[in-house]
Structure 1
Amino acid sequence: MTLEACTEALRQHDPDRFGAVLVARPQDRPALLTLYALNLEIARAPFQSNEPMLAEMRLQWWVDRLTEMGQGKAPPLHDVLTPLWEAWGQDAGALEPLAEARRRDCAREPFADVAEAVAYVDATAGQLMWQAARRCGAAEGHREIVMAQARGAGLAAWLRALPQLQGMRLGLAQPSPEAARELAEIGRDGLRLAARLHRKVPKTAAAALYPGPRVPRLFSEIIAGRIDPFTEVPQLSAFQRRGSLARLALTGRWWR
Protein backbone atom coordinates (compact mmCIF):
# COMPACT_ATOMS: atom_id res chain seq x y z
CA MET A 1 0.00 0.00 0.00
CA THR A 2 1.71 3.18 -1.18
CA LEU A 3 1.02 6.75 -2.17
CA GLU A 4 0.34 5.74 -5.76
CA ALA A 5 -3.31 4.87 -5.09
CA CYS A 6 -3.88 8.21 -3.36
CA THR A 7 -2.13 10.07 -6.15
CA GLU A 8 -4.20 8.41 -8.85
CA ALA A 9 -7.45 9.01 -6.98
CA LEU A 10 -6.68 12.73 -6.77
CA ARG A 11 -5.57 12.91 -10.38
CA GLN A 12 -8.91 11.49 -11.51
CA HIS A 13 -11.39 12.93 -9.04
CA ASP A 14 -9.88 16.10 -7.53
CA PRO A 15 -7.62 17.66 -10.18
CA ASP A 16 -7.42 21.09 -8.51
CA ARG A 17 -6.07 19.72 -5.24
CA PHE A 18 -3.86 17.29 -7.14
CA GLY A 19 -2.29 20.21 -8.98
CA ALA A 20 -1.89 22.16 -5.76
CA VAL A 21 -0.06 19.24 -4.13
CA LEU A 22 2.54 19.37 -6.88
CA VAL A 23 3.31 22.96 -5.84
CA ALA A 24 3.76 22.02 -2.17
CA ARG A 25 7.15 21.36 -0.61
CA PRO A 26 8.25 17.75 -1.24
CA GLN A 27 8.19 16.98 2.49
CA ASP A 28 4.54 18.10 2.70
CA ARG A 29 3.24 16.14 -0.28
CA PRO A 30 2.64 12.74 1.41
CA ALA A 31 0.52 14.36 4.13
CA LEU A 32 -1.50 16.36 1.60
CA LEU A 33 -1.97 13.47 -0.83
CA THR A 34 -3.24 11.15 1.88
CA LEU A 35 -5.42 13.83 3.49
CA TYR A 36 -7.13 14.69 0.22
CA ALA A 37 -7.53 11.02 -0.74
CA LEU A 38 -9.15 10.42 2.65
CA ASN A 39 -11.49 13.34 2.00
CA LEU A 40 -12.59 11.75 -1.28
CA GLU A 41 -13.36 8.47 0.47
CA ILE A 42 -15.37 9.92 3.34
CA ALA A 43 -17.26 12.25 0.98
CA ARG A 44 -18.17 9.21 -1.15
CA ALA A 45 -19.16 6.95 1.75
CA PRO A 46 -22.69 8.36 2.38
CA PHE A 47 -23.60 7.76 -1.26
CA GLN A 48 -22.64 4.10 -1.43
CA SER A 49 -26.15 3.16 -0.34
CA ASN A 50 -29.56 4.73 -0.83
CA GLU A 51 -30.59 3.52 2.62
CA PRO A 52 -29.68 6.13 5.26
CA MET A 53 -28.85 3.52 7.88
CA LEU A 54 -26.53 1.58 5.57
CA ALA A 55 -24.93 4.80 4.38
CA GLU A 56 -24.23 5.83 7.96
CA MET A 57 -22.72 2.42 8.70
CA ARG A 58 -20.29 2.89 5.83
CA LEU A 59 -19.35 6.33 7.13
CA GLN A 60 -19.04 5.01 10.68
CA TRP A 61 -16.36 2.58 9.49
CA TRP A 62 -14.18 5.58 8.60
CA VAL A 63 -14.97 7.34 11.86
CA ASP A 64 -13.94 4.24 13.81
CA ARG A 65 -10.67 3.76 11.92
CA LEU A 66 -9.65 7.41 12.40
CA THR A 67 -10.55 7.24 16.09
CA GLU A 68 -8.39 4.13 16.49
CA MET A 69 -5.51 5.78 14.69
CA GLY A 70 -5.77 8.70 17.08
CA GLN A 71 -5.37 6.18 19.91
CA GLY A 72 -2.19 4.85 18.34
CA LYS A 73 -3.65 1.77 16.65
CA ALA A 74 -2.47 1.12 13.10
CA PRO A 75 -5.29 0.64 10.55
CA PRO A 76 -5.85 -2.53 8.52
CA LEU A 77 -4.05 -2.66 5.19
CA HIS A 78 -5.87 -0.22 2.92
CA ASP A 79 -5.05 1.84 -0.18
CA VAL A 80 -5.72 5.10 1.67
CA LEU A 81 -5.48 4.38 5.38
CA THR A 82 -2.08 2.66 5.24
CA PRO A 83 -0.26 5.59 3.58
CA LEU A 84 -2.32 7.99 5.74
CA TRP A 85 -0.95 6.27 8.84
CA GLU A 86 2.58 6.46 7.47
CA ALA A 87 2.24 10.19 6.78
CA TRP A 88 0.17 11.26 9.79
CA GLY A 89 0.59 8.61 12.44
CA GLN A 90 -1.44 9.24 15.58
CA ASP A 91 -2.23 12.77 14.32
CA ALA A 92 -4.73 11.12 11.94
CA GLY A 93 -7.12 11.07 14.87
CA ALA A 94 -7.56 14.82 14.44
CA LEU A 95 -9.14 14.10 11.04
CA GLU A 96 -12.12 12.25 12.53
CA PRO A 97 -14.34 15.41 12.54
CA LEU A 98 -14.07 15.45 8.74
CA ALA A 99 -15.97 12.17 8.66
CA GLU A 100 -18.44 13.17 11.37
CA ALA A 101 -19.40 16.26 9.36
CA ARG A 102 -20.68 14.03 6.56
CA ARG A 103 -23.38 12.35 8.65
CA ARG A 104 -26.08 14.71 7.42
CA ASP A 105 -25.34 13.52 3.86
CA CYS A 106 -26.50 10.05 4.88
CA ALA A 107 -29.97 11.38 5.75
CA ARG A 108 -30.42 13.22 2.42
CA GLU A 109 -31.86 16.25 4.18
CA PRO A 110 -31.63 19.66 2.47
CA PHE A 111 -30.40 22.67 4.40
CA ALA A 112 -33.15 24.74 5.98
CA ASP A 113 -31.37 28.02 5.29
CA VAL A 114 -28.14 29.67 4.21
CA ALA A 115 -26.66 29.53 7.71
CA GLU A 116 -26.92 25.73 7.78
CA ALA A 117 -25.20 25.44 4.40
CA VAL A 118 -22.36 27.72 5.52
CA ALA A 119 -21.91 25.74 8.74
CA TYR A 120 -21.65 22.54 6.68
CA VAL A 121 -19.01 24.07 4.42
CA ASP A 122 -17.06 25.25 7.47
CA ALA A 123 -17.15 21.75 8.96
CA THR A 124 -16.07 20.02 5.74
CA ALA A 125 -14.02 22.28 3.46
CA GLY A 126 -13.00 24.49 6.37
CA GLN A 127 -11.61 21.72 8.51
CA LEU A 128 -9.97 20.09 5.51
CA MET A 129 -8.10 23.26 4.58
CA TRP A 130 -7.15 23.91 8.20
CA GLN A 131 -5.62 20.46 8.61
CA ALA A 132 -3.75 20.84 5.32
CA ALA A 133 -2.48 24.31 6.18
CA ARG A 134 -1.42 23.20 9.65
CA ARG A 135 0.72 20.45 8.17
CA CYS A 136 2.27 23.01 5.80
CA GLY A 137 3.37 25.41 8.50
CA ALA A 138 0.30 27.40 9.56
CA ALA A 139 0.01 28.00 13.29
CA GLU A 140 -3.01 28.25 15.58
CA GLY A 141 -2.88 32.04 15.26
CA HIS A 142 -3.58 31.68 11.53
CA ARG A 143 -6.78 29.69 11.95
CA GLU A 144 -9.15 32.63 11.34
CA ILE A 145 -7.42 33.46 8.04
CA VAL A 146 -7.36 29.86 6.89
CA MET A 147 -11.02 29.33 7.78
CA ALA A 148 -12.03 32.51 5.94
CA GLN A 149 -10.19 31.34 2.83
CA ALA A 150 -11.72 27.89 3.19
CA ARG A 151 -15.22 29.33 3.48
CA GLY A 152 -14.76 31.11 0.16
CA ALA A 153 -13.21 28.11 -1.57
CA GLY A 154 -15.71 25.68 -0.06
CA LEU A 155 -18.77 27.74 -0.95
CA ALA A 156 -17.52 28.09 -4.51
CA ALA A 157 -17.17 24.32 -4.83
CA TRP A 158 -20.58 23.79 -3.21
CA LEU A 159 -22.24 26.29 -5.55
CA ARG A 160 -20.65 24.65 -8.59
CA ALA A 161 -22.16 21.34 -7.48
CA LEU A 162 -25.52 22.82 -6.48
CA PRO A 163 -27.55 21.72 -9.53
CA GLN A 164 -26.66 18.11 -8.73
CA LEU A 165 -27.05 18.59 -4.98
CA GLN A 166 -30.57 19.99 -5.39
CA GLY A 167 -31.56 16.85 -7.27
CA MET A 168 -30.15 14.71 -4.45
CA ARG A 169 -31.99 16.68 -1.73
CA LEU A 170 -28.67 17.99 -0.41
CA GLY A 171 -29.02 21.61 -1.46
CA LEU A 172 -31.34 24.24 0.01
CA ALA A 173 -34.89 23.37 0.97
CA GLN A 174 -36.10 26.72 -0.40
CA PRO A 175 -33.88 27.82 -3.29
CA SER A 176 -34.14 31.47 -4.29
CA PRO A 177 -32.06 34.16 -6.03
CA GLU A 178 -31.70 35.90 -2.68
CA ALA A 179 -30.20 32.79 -1.09
CA ALA A 180 -27.80 32.36 -4.00
CA ARG A 181 -26.60 35.95 -3.71
CA GLU A 182 -26.20 35.65 0.06
CA LEU A 183 -24.07 32.52 -0.29
CA ALA A 184 -21.91 34.19 -2.94
CA GLU A 185 -21.50 37.32 -0.82
CA ILE A 186 -20.45 35.24 2.20
CA GLY A 187 -17.92 33.38 0.10
CA ARG A 188 -16.58 36.58 -1.43
CA ASP A 189 -16.23 38.18 2.00
CA GLY A 190 -14.26 35.18 3.22
CA LEU A 191 -11.80 35.48 0.36
CA ARG A 192 -11.46 39.22 0.91
CA LEU A 193 -10.69 38.79 4.60
CA ALA A 194 -8.06 36.17 3.87
CA ALA A 195 -6.52 38.36 1.15
CA ARG A 196 -6.22 41.32 3.53
CA LEU A 197 -4.39 39.20 6.09
CA HIS A 198 -2.41 36.94 3.76
CA ARG A 199 1.00 38.26 4.84
CA LYS A 200 0.53 36.72 8.27
CA VAL A 201 0.41 33.18 6.84
CA PRO A 202 3.69 31.41 5.99
CA LYS A 203 4.36 30.98 2.29
CA THR A 204 4.82 27.27 2.83
CA ALA A 205 1.04 26.98 3.23
CA ALA A 206 0.26 28.32 -0.26
CA ALA A 207 -0.59 24.93 -1.75
CA ALA A 208 -2.96 24.11 1.11
CA LEU A 209 -4.79 27.44 0.72
CA TYR A 210 -5.34 27.26 -3.03
CA PRO A 211 -9.08 27.99 -3.61
CA GLY A 212 -9.38 26.63 -7.14
CA PRO A 213 -9.80 28.48 -10.45
CA ARG A 214 -12.05 31.46 -11.12
CA VAL A 215 -13.63 31.56 -7.68
CA PRO A 216 -14.03 35.37 -7.41
CA ARG A 217 -15.51 35.42 -10.93
CA LEU A 218 -18.11 32.83 -9.96
CA PHE A 219 -19.19 34.86 -6.94
CA SER A 220 -19.39 38.06 -8.99
CA GLU A 221 -21.57 36.42 -11.64
CA ILE A 222 -23.98 35.02 -9.05
CA ILE A 223 -24.22 38.31 -7.15
CA ALA A 224 -24.92 40.14 -10.41
CA GLY A 225 -27.69 37.66 -11.24
CA ARG A 226 -26.02 36.39 -14.40
CA ILE A 227 -25.74 32.83 -13.05
CA ASP A 228 -28.44 30.86 -11.26
CA PRO A 229 -26.46 28.21 -9.35
CA PHE A 230 -29.59 26.21 -8.60
CA THR A 231 -30.03 25.32 -12.25
CA GLU A 232 -26.70 25.57 -14.07
CA VAL A 233 -23.12 26.60 -13.32
CA PRO A 234 -20.53 26.92 -16.10
CA GLN A 235 -18.01 24.12 -15.91
CA LEU A 236 -14.31 24.84 -15.74
CA SER A 237 -12.19 24.01 -18.74
CA ALA A 238 -8.84 22.22 -18.60
CA PHE A 239 -7.21 25.44 -19.84
CA GLN A 240 -8.70 27.45 -16.97
CA ARG A 241 -7.53 24.88 -14.44
CA ARG A 242 -4.01 24.77 -15.85
CA GLY A 243 -3.78 28.55 -15.99
CA SER A 244 -4.85 28.96 -12.39
CA LEU A 245 -2.41 26.31 -11.17
CA ALA A 246 0.39 27.83 -13.23
CA ARG A 247 -0.22 31.14 -11.46
CA LEU A 248 0.04 29.39 -8.10
CA ALA A 249 3.26 27.64 -9.12
CA LEU A 250 4.91 30.74 -10.57
CA THR A 251 3.89 33.30 -7.98
CA GLY A 252 2.99 31.33 -4.85
CA ARG A 253 -0.15 33.49 -4.56
CA TRP A 254 -3.12 31.70 -3.01
CA TRP A 255 -5.11 34.90 -2.39
CA ARG A 256 -6.91 37.05 -4.95
Structure 2
Amino acid sequence: MTTDFDHAADIARQFDKDRYLSALLAPEKFRPGLMALYAYSAELARIRELVSEPLPGEVRLQWWRDLLEGTEHGAAASNPVANALLETIAQFQLPRQSLIAMTEARIFDLYNDPMPSLNDLEGYAGETASGLIQLACLVLNDGKDPGTATAAGHAGVAYALTGLMRALPWHAARQQMYLPKDLQERHNLDPATVFKGETTPQLLAVLTELRAHVRHHLERVRAVSGNVPGTCAAAFLPLVLVEPFLQKLEATGFDPLKQSADLSQLKRQWVMWRARRNVFGRL
Protein backbone atom coordinates (compact mmCIF):
# COMPACT_ATOMS: atom_id res chain seq x y z
CA MET A 1 0.00 0.00 0.00
CA THR A 2 1.36 3.44 -0.97
CA THR A 3 1.87 5.76 2.00
CA ASP A 4 2.04 9.54 2.19
CA PHE A 5 5.81 9.25 2.51
CA ASP A 6 5.98 7.05 -0.60
CA HIS A 7 4.12 9.75 -2.49
CA ALA A 8 6.48 12.41 -1.13
CA ALA A 9 9.46 10.35 -2.28
CA ASP A 10 7.95 10.10 -5.76
CA ILE A 11 7.50 13.88 -5.92
CA ALA A 12 11.11 14.40 -4.84
CA ARG A 13 12.31 11.86 -7.42
CA GLN A 14 10.42 13.57 -10.23
CA PHE A 15 11.21 17.19 -9.45
CA ASP A 16 14.37 17.28 -7.32
CA LYS A 17 16.49 14.28 -8.22
CA ASP A 18 19.69 15.50 -6.59
CA ARG A 19 18.12 15.87 -3.17
CA TYR A 20 16.19 12.65 -3.73
CA LEU A 21 19.46 10.78 -4.39
CA SER A 22 21.07 12.39 -1.34
CA ALA A 23 18.16 11.18 0.81
CA LEU A 24 18.66 7.62 -0.46
CA LEU A 25 22.23 7.82 0.86
CA ALA A 26 21.03 8.89 4.32
CA PRO A 27 20.35 6.39 7.14
CA GLU A 28 17.13 4.55 6.37
CA LYS A 29 15.25 5.73 9.46
CA PHE A 30 15.57 9.37 8.38
CA ARG A 31 14.75 8.96 4.68
CA PRO A 32 10.97 9.46 5.00
CA GLY A 33 11.42 12.77 6.82
CA LEU A 34 13.93 13.99 4.25
CA MET A 35 11.64 12.99 1.40
CA ALA A 36 8.79 14.94 3.00
CA LEU A 37 10.96 18.08 3.23
CA TYR A 38 12.27 17.76 -0.32
CA ALA A 39 8.80 17.09 -1.73
CA TYR A 40 7.48 20.18 0.05
CA SER A 41 10.32 22.27 -1.38
CA ALA A 42 9.68 20.85 -4.87
CA GLU A 43 5.97 21.60 -4.64
CA LEU A 44 6.72 25.24 -3.85
CA ALA A 45 9.39 25.55 -6.54
CA ARG A 46 7.15 24.31 -9.34
CA ILE A 47 4.12 26.50 -8.62
CA ARG A 48 5.18 29.00 -11.30
CA GLU A 49 4.99 26.19 -13.87
CA LEU A 50 1.48 25.20 -12.78
CA VAL A 51 -0.25 28.58 -12.93
CA SER A 52 -0.94 30.97 -15.79
CA GLU A 53 -0.72 34.13 -13.69
CA PRO A 54 0.63 35.17 -10.28
CA LEU A 55 -2.62 35.32 -8.26
CA PRO A 56 -3.41 31.57 -8.38
CA GLY A 57 0.22 30.97 -7.44
CA GLU A 58 -0.11 33.22 -4.41
CA VAL A 59 -3.26 31.31 -3.43
CA ARG A 60 -1.31 28.04 -3.53
CA LEU A 61 1.46 29.50 -1.41
CA GLN A 62 -1.08 30.86 1.06
CA TRP A 63 -2.60 27.38 1.34
CA TRP A 64 0.74 26.04 2.55
CA ARG A 65 1.21 28.99 4.92
CA ASP A 66 -2.22 28.44 6.42
CA LEU A 67 -1.49 24.74 6.86
CA LEU A 68 1.77 25.44 8.66
CA GLU A 69 0.19 28.14 10.83
CA GLY A 70 -2.49 25.71 11.95
CA THR A 71 -5.47 27.07 10.04
CA GLU A 72 -8.11 24.40 9.44
CA HIS A 73 -7.73 22.75 6.03
CA GLY A 74 -10.49 20.48 4.88
CA ALA A 75 -8.41 19.36 1.90
CA ALA A 76 -5.19 18.74 3.84
CA ALA A 77 -6.06 15.12 4.55
CA SER A 78 -6.19 14.45 0.82
CA ASN A 79 -2.73 15.96 0.21
CA PRO A 80 -0.13 13.28 0.93
CA VAL A 81 2.81 15.69 0.85
CA ALA A 82 1.08 17.89 3.44
CA ASN A 83 0.39 14.88 5.63
CA ALA A 84 3.97 13.63 5.37
CA LEU A 85 5.28 17.11 6.14
CA LEU A 86 3.10 17.53 9.22
CA GLU A 87 4.17 14.12 10.53
CA THR A 88 7.81 15.05 9.98
CA ILE A 89 7.38 18.38 11.76
CA ALA A 90 5.83 16.61 14.74
CA GLN A 91 8.40 13.81 14.86
CA PHE A 92 11.47 16.05 14.72
CA GLN A 93 10.06 19.24 16.28
CA LEU A 94 10.91 21.24 13.18
CA PRO A 95 10.53 25.04 13.32
CA ARG A 96 7.48 25.93 11.27
CA GLN A 97 8.68 29.47 10.68
CA SER A 98 11.52 28.20 8.51
CA LEU A 99 9.03 26.34 6.35
CA ILE A 100 6.73 29.37 6.20
CA ALA A 101 9.68 31.56 5.17
CA MET A 102 10.15 29.32 2.14
CA THR A 103 6.64 30.15 0.93
CA GLU A 104 7.23 33.87 1.39
CA ALA A 105 10.47 33.77 -0.61
CA ARG A 106 8.79 31.86 -3.43
CA ILE A 107 6.42 34.76 -4.10
CA PHE A 108 9.30 36.26 -6.08
CA ASP A 109 9.11 33.33 -8.52
CA LEU A 110 5.59 34.26 -9.56
CA TYR A 111 6.48 37.69 -10.95
CA ASN A 112 8.98 39.08 -13.44
CA ASP A 113 10.32 41.75 -11.14
CA PRO A 114 14.14 42.13 -11.19
CA MET A 115 16.21 40.81 -8.31
CA PRO A 116 17.30 44.10 -6.68
CA SER A 117 20.75 43.17 -5.40
CA LEU A 118 23.20 40.38 -4.64
CA ASN A 119 22.24 40.73 -1.00
CA ASP A 120 18.59 40.14 -1.91
CA LEU A 121 19.55 37.14 -4.00
CA GLU A 122 21.47 35.69 -1.07
CA GLY A 123 18.42 36.25 1.12
CA TYR A 124 16.23 34.42 -1.39
CA ALA A 125 18.74 31.55 -1.52
CA GLY A 126 18.94 31.50 2.24
CA GLU A 127 15.19 31.08 2.66
CA THR A 128 14.71 28.53 -0.13
CA ALA A 129 17.92 26.46 -0.03
CA SER A 130 19.87 27.15 3.16
CA GLY A 131 16.78 26.75 5.30
CA LEU A 132 16.07 23.41 3.66
CA ILE A 133 19.58 22.15 4.43
CA GLN A 134 19.24 23.22 8.05
CA LEU A 135 15.87 21.47 8.36
CA ALA A 136 17.37 18.32 6.83
CA CYS A 137 20.16 18.52 9.41
CA LEU A 138 17.57 18.65 12.19
CA VAL A 139 15.92 15.51 10.81
CA LEU A 140 19.26 13.71 10.50
CA ASN A 141 20.19 14.75 14.05
CA ASP A 142 16.90 13.34 15.34
CA GLY A 143 15.38 16.74 16.07
CA LYS A 144 18.27 18.09 18.13
CA ASP A 145 20.09 21.28 17.14
CA PRO A 146 23.18 20.11 15.21
CA GLY A 147 24.90 23.51 15.22
CA THR A 148 24.98 23.63 11.43
CA ALA A 149 23.28 26.98 10.76
CA THR A 150 26.41 28.72 9.45
CA ALA A 151 27.47 25.84 7.21
CA ALA A 152 23.92 25.41 5.93
CA GLY A 153 23.69 29.13 5.21
CA HIS A 154 26.74 29.21 2.96
CA ALA A 155 25.98 25.83 1.40
CA GLY A 156 22.47 26.84 0.42
CA VAL A 157 23.62 30.06 -1.22
CA ALA A 158 26.30 28.24 -3.23
CA TYR A 159 23.87 25.54 -4.36
CA ALA A 160 21.02 27.91 -5.19
CA LEU A 161 23.11 30.43 -7.12
CA THR A 162 24.61 27.64 -9.19
CA GLY A 163 21.13 26.33 -9.94
CA LEU A 164 19.92 29.77 -11.01
CA MET A 165 22.84 30.16 -13.42
CA ARG A 166 22.09 26.75 -14.87
CA ALA A 167 18.43 27.75 -15.29
CA LEU A 168 19.26 31.02 -17.06
CA PRO A 169 17.95 29.88 -20.49
CA TRP A 170 14.56 28.96 -19.02
CA HIS A 171 14.26 32.11 -16.94
CA ALA A 172 15.26 34.32 -19.88
CA ALA A 173 12.66 32.64 -22.10
CA ARG A 174 9.92 33.69 -19.70
CA GLN A 175 11.34 37.19 -19.18
CA GLN A 176 12.39 36.48 -15.60
CA MET A 177 15.63 37.85 -14.16
CA TYR A 178 17.39 36.46 -11.11
CA LEU A 179 20.74 38.07 -11.94
CA PRO A 180 21.04 40.88 -9.37
CA LYS A 181 20.46 44.40 -10.60
CA ASP A 182 23.59 45.74 -8.87
CA LEU A 183 25.75 43.21 -10.74
CA GLN A 184 24.02 44.12 -13.99
CA GLU A 185 24.77 47.78 -13.43
CA ARG A 186 28.35 47.12 -12.39
CA HIS A 187 29.00 45.34 -15.69
CA ASN A 188 26.69 47.48 -17.85
CA LEU A 189 24.43 44.57 -18.70
CA ASP A 190 21.19 45.45 -20.47
CA PRO A 191 18.63 42.83 -19.33
CA ALA A 192 16.79 43.20 -22.66
CA THR A 193 19.73 41.49 -24.37
CA VAL A 194 19.35 38.51 -22.05
CA PHE A 195 15.66 38.22 -22.86
CA LYS A 196 16.54 38.34 -26.57
CA GLY A 197 18.93 35.43 -26.09
CA GLU A 198 22.06 37.48 -26.77
CA THR A 199 25.15 36.29 -24.93
CA THR A 200 27.13 39.52 -24.54
CA PRO A 201 30.51 40.19 -22.88
CA GLN A 202 28.56 42.04 -20.19
CA LEU A 203 26.49 38.96 -19.39
CA LEU A 204 29.61 36.80 -19.27
CA ALA A 205 31.19 39.28 -16.84
CA VAL A 206 28.15 39.11 -14.53
CA LEU A 207 28.23 35.31 -14.57
CA THR A 208 31.98 35.25 -13.92
CA GLU A 209 31.50 37.39 -10.83
CA LEU A 210 28.59 35.25 -9.68
CA ARG A 211 30.64 32.04 -10.04
CA ALA A 212 33.40 33.62 -7.95
CA HIS A 213 30.80 34.43 -5.34
CA VAL A 214 29.64 30.79 -5.31
CA ARG A 215 33.21 29.61 -4.78
CA HIS A 216 33.58 32.10 -1.93
CA HIS A 217 30.64 30.45 -0.19
CA LEU A 218 32.10 26.99 -0.83
CA GLU A 219 35.27 28.15 0.91
CA ARG A 220 33.22 29.35 3.86
CA VAL A 221 31.52 25.94 4.05
CA ARG A 222 34.91 24.22 4.11
CA ALA A 223 36.11 26.59 6.83
CA VAL A 224 33.29 25.60 9.20
CA SER A 225 32.87 21.98 8.10
CA GLY A 226 34.62 20.76 11.23
CA ASN A 227 31.58 21.89 13.21
CA VAL A 228 29.16 19.76 11.17
CA PRO A 229 28.31 16.42 12.81
CA GLY A 230 28.84 13.36 10.63
CA THR A 231 25.17 12.55 11.10
CA CYS A 232 24.30 15.56 8.91
CA ALA A 233 26.45 14.62 5.92
CA ALA A 234 23.56 13.63 3.67
CA ALA A 235 22.01 17.10 3.96
CA PHE A 236 25.10 18.58 2.28
CA LEU A 237 25.60 15.90 -0.37
CA PRO A 238 24.05 17.87 -3.29
CA LEU A 239 26.73 20.50 -2.68
CA VAL A 240 29.40 18.22 -4.18
CA LEU A 241 27.76 18.79 -7.58
CA VAL A 242 28.37 22.54 -7.47
CA GLU A 243 31.99 22.54 -8.67
CA PRO A 244 31.31 20.14 -11.58
CA PHE A 245 28.41 22.37 -12.62
CA LEU A 246 30.58 25.49 -12.37
CA GLN A 247 33.17 23.86 -14.61
CA LYS A 248 30.47 23.17 -17.18
CA LEU A 249 29.29 26.78 -16.99
CA GLU A 250 32.78 28.17 -17.59
CA ALA A 251 33.88 25.71 -20.28
CA THR A 252 35.30 27.26 -23.45
CA GLY A 253 32.56 27.91 -25.97
CA PHE A 254 29.71 27.33 -23.53
CA ASP A 255 26.72 29.58 -24.25
CA PRO A 256 24.83 30.24 -20.97
CA LEU A 257 21.67 31.27 -22.82
CA LYS A 258 21.52 28.44 -25.34
CA GLN A 259 23.07 25.43 -23.60
CA SER A 260 22.31 23.45 -20.47
CA ALA A 261 25.08 22.97 -17.91
CA ASP A 262 24.15 19.47 -16.95
CA LEU A 263 25.66 16.19 -15.78
CA SER A 264 24.32 12.77 -16.66
CA GLN A 265 22.24 11.05 -14.03
CA LEU A 266 24.89 8.36 -13.71
CA LYS A 267 27.59 10.98 -13.16
CA ARG A 268 25.55 12.71 -10.47
CA GLN A 269 24.90 9.44 -8.67
CA TRP A 270 28.58 8.50 -8.86
CA VAL A 271 29.80 11.87 -7.55
CA MET A 272 27.41 11.80 -4.58
CA TRP A 273 28.01 8.13 -3.82
CA ARG A 274 31.76 8.71 -3.68
CA ALA A 275 31.29 11.71 -1.40
CA ARG A 276 28.88 10.07 1.03
CA ARG A 277 31.56 9.36 3.66
CA ASN A 278 33.58 12.55 3.20
CA VAL A 279 31.30 15.25 1.84
CA PHE A 280 33.43 18.27 2.68
CA GLY A 281 36.61 16.63 1.44
CA ARG A 282 34.96 16.39 -2.00
CA LEU A 283 33.95 20.04 -2.30
Residue 183, structure 1, aligned to residue 217, structure 2? no
2:262 alignment counterpart: 235
1:69-99 deviation digits (Å, cap 9, x = unpaired): 7x9x994331101111222226362311111
Task: Name the residue aligned to 1:170.
Answer: 176
Q: Say whether the 8 Å CA contact 1:16–1:212 is kept in structure 2.
A: no
Per the TM alignment, residue 130 of structure 1 is displaced from its structure 2 partner at its CA by 1.6
Tell me which residue corresponds to 1:151.
157
The SS at the match of 1:177 is helix
Alignment gaps of 5+ in structure 1: none
* Distance of 2:217 and 2:272 partners within structure 1: 21
Q: Relative to 1, partners in 2 of residues 1:210 and 1:114: Cα closer, same or farther, differing over 3 Å?
A: same
Equivalent residue, structure 1, for 2:34: 32
How many matched pairs?
253
Q: 1:54 Cα shift?
A: 2.0
What residue is the counterpart of 2:137 in the other structure? 133
- Decide whether the 8 Å contact of 1:213 with 1:240 is kept in 2: no
**1:193 aligned partner, one-letter code:** R
TM-score of the two chains, using structure 2 as the length reference: 0.79
Specify the SS of the correspondent of 1:127.
helix
The reply to whether residue 122 of structure 1 matches residue 126 of structure 2 is yes
Whole-angstrom distance in 1 between the partners of 2:136 and 2:241? 21
State the 1:38 CA deviation. Answer: 0.5
| Structure 2 gaps, min length 5 | 182-190, 195-202
Offset of residue 52 of structure 1: 1.6
TM-superposed deviation, 1:39: 0.6
2:82 aligns with 81
Q: Check conservation: 1:68, 1:93, Cα contact below 8 A.
A: no
Alpha carbons of 1:36 and 1:130: their partners in 2 closer, same or farther (altered >3 Å)? same
Distance 1:76 1:214, change over 3 A: closer
Q: What's the CA shift for 1:44? A: 1.7
Percent identical among aligned pairs is 27
> SS at the partner of 1:154?
helix
Q: Determine whether 1:218 maps to 2:245.
A: yes
Contact preservation (8 Å) 2:114, 2:176: yes
2:138 and 2:256 mapped to 1: Cα distance?
Answer: 32
Q: Is structure 2 residue 25 aligned with structure 1 residue 19?
A: no
What is the CA distance between 1:213 and its match in structure 2? Answer: 5.2
Q: Which amino acid aligns with 2:124?
A: Y
Q: Using the alignment, how far apart are the partners of 1:146 and 1:91 within structure 2?
A: 15
The Cα offsets for residues 126-155 of structure 1, whole Å up to 9 and x where unpaired, read as: 211121122223736431111111111111
Aligned-pair distance for 1:116? 3.2
Query: In structure 1, how many angstroms separate the alpha carbons of the residues matched to 2:253 and 2:222?
Result: 25
Structure 1 contact 21–32 (Cα < 8 Å) conserved: yes
Q: Distance in 1 between matches of 2:249 and 2:117?
A: 18
1:182-231 per-residue CA deviation (whole Å, 9 max, x = no partner) reads 21111111111111221210011111112355421333554677544344
Structure-2 separation of matches of 1:233 and 1:213: 19
TM-score normalised by structure 1 residue count: 0.87
Any conservation in 1 of the 2:125–2:161 contact (CA below 8 Å)? yes
The aligned counterpart of 2:279 is 253
